[in-house]
Amino acid sequence: MKLSLFGATGPTGKYIIEEAFKQGYSLSVYTRNARKVDAFAGKVDVVVGDLHDTAAIAKCVRGADAVISALGPNSLKVQGDRPVMQGLSNIISVMRQMGVHRLIQISTAAYRDPRDGFALGAHAFVLLFRVIVPRAYEDIKATGELIASSGLDWTLVRIPNLKDDPANGNIDVGWYGRSKLSMKLSRGNLAKFLVDQVTDKTFVRAAPGIANR
């Protein structure tokens, strides 16, 4: 089975790639700078392009069983109007053309799931984020809303602060304000949850929060 991966050049990317290998997937990785995935040269197909280049996006998505996206605004230097949301709009239209239905995207509490209650911690975190980096907040929220109305088999995996630790399987999954969710998550645990969603249909068309236990 093949996965198409976007946004893998950040620190979470290598965990996702390694987890996908571990689960036996082949990978097509999309990047605007091939040097950032040099460590995986020869092991993954690398497709170079920006998020406006639908021909290059199609090359990456063609033949994939699912798309995983770790795309997120580079907080302090968001250029243009909601660039990640615009990029996802192009990815979604390519997925529709190619008949690829499964989309798994990293998100945060900036996007609300209808199952959420009121969670003081998550609410305060989102408010602070909104005040400090309003353009990043708007991009994450709009990306979530776009994906939720896409008609695809989507999952938004909502996360708190990330830390650079391997997977240990100790996570809580649920809804803000209704489930116990801490404010930290290991990148290894995130990568495993993302790749598990390819075949696990529990959270299709839902936006679970996940966090380290």
Q: Which is nearer to ligand NAP, 83 or 177 (CB)?
A: 83
Site size toward ligand NAP, by CB under 6 A: 24
Q: Whole-number minimum distance, CB 149 to ligand NAP, in Å?
A: 20
How far is residue 92's CA from residue 83's CA, in Å, rounded to a whole number?
Answer: 14
How far is residue 131's CA from residue 153's CA, in Å, rounded to a whole number?
Answer: 32
Q: Minimal CA–CA distance to 110: which of 83, 128, 91? A: 128
Q: Minimal CA–CA distance to 163: which of 9, 35, 3, 15? A: 15
In the three-class reduction of DSSP (H, G, I as helix; E, B as strand; rest coil), residue 12 is classed as coil
Q: Which is nearer to ligand NAP, 99 or 191 (CB)?
A: 191
Stretch that binds ligand NAP, among 9-17, 147-155, 167-175, 204-212 (CB under 6 A): 9-17
Q: Minimal CA–CA distance to 75: which of 188, 161, 13? A: 161
Stretch that binds ligand NAP, among 7-15, 19-27, 59-67, 173-181 (CB under 6 A): 7-15
Q: Minimal CA–CA distance to 72: which of 95, 102, 47, 106? A: 106
Q: Which is nearer to ligand NAP, 64 or 99 (CB)?
A: 64
Phi and psi angles of residue 70, each rounded to the nearest 5 degrees, phi first: -105, 15
Amino acid at 73: P
Site for ligand NAP in 106-145 (CB under 6 A): 106, 108
Site for ligand NAP in 172-191 (CB under 6 A): none
How far is residue 162's CA from residue 99's CA, in Å, rounded to a whole number?
Answer: 33
Among 60, 104, 159, 167, binds ligand NAP (CB under 6 A): 159
Site for ligand NAP in 50-109 (CB under 6 A): 50-51, 70-74, 83-84, 87, 106, 108
Q: Which is nearer to ligand NAP, 5 or 152 (CB)?
A: 5
Provide the binding-site residues for ligand NAP, judged by CB under 6 A. 7-12, 32-33, 36, 50-51, 70-74, 83-84, 87, 106, 108, 159, 161-162
